Amino acid sequence: MFWTVLMQLVFSFLATMAFAITTNVPRRSLIACGLTGTFGWMTYWILSHLDAGTTMSTLAGAFIVAIASFFFAKYKRLPVTIFNVPGIVPLVPGGLAYQAVRNFVLGDYIEAISFSVRVALVAGAIAAGLVLSEVLNHSIRRFREHKENI
């Protein structure tokens, strides 16, 4: 079990950093990008092993990616998207999308539609997680501003 967790940590970090490098993020943000993706992936991985379901695990993972992105952006004084975009890469349902297209090509339309719906649910969960985090961050900022004005 230890080796499995270690491999999940290492490869999620490396995958996120590799994508960050290909999208030309600033060098000073590479480690933070890798950590952002690792936090999101480990949240997803742990929840999926606790039988939370793929969609809910992805939602939680995307939420953690967005929260981590917000903190790293504040710490590094860089835009949030520098951390968000590479951070969600481990959560993207590439394998499911491949299976959907493969089944369409093979003519198994029922299975293809099933995979396509799962891809749409996971993609929606990623978007919802990012939006929920932004709503939370905005609410916290508004609360602080209102508290200072009183």
pLDDT 10s digits, 91-125: 999 999 999 999 999 999 999 999 999 999 999 99
79 Cβ contact partners less than 8 Å away, ≥ 6 residues apart:
73
Taking 80 as the threshold, does the pLDDT of residue 149 lie above it? no
User: Which residue, among 9, 18, 5, 4, has the nearest Cα to 40 in the 3D structure?
Assistant: 9
Say what the pTM is: 0.90
How far, in Å, CA of 51 to CA of 49, rounded? 5
Indicate the residue type of 145. E
pLDDT 10s digits, 126-138: 999 999 999 998 8
User: Which residue, among 51, 47, 45, has the nearest Cα to 9 in the 3D structure?
Assistant: 45
Of the chain, the percentage scoring pLDDT greater than 70 comes to 100
How far, in Å, CA of 134 to CA of 13, rounded? 23
Q: Let me know how long the chain is.
A: 150
Structure tokens at 117: 């719906």
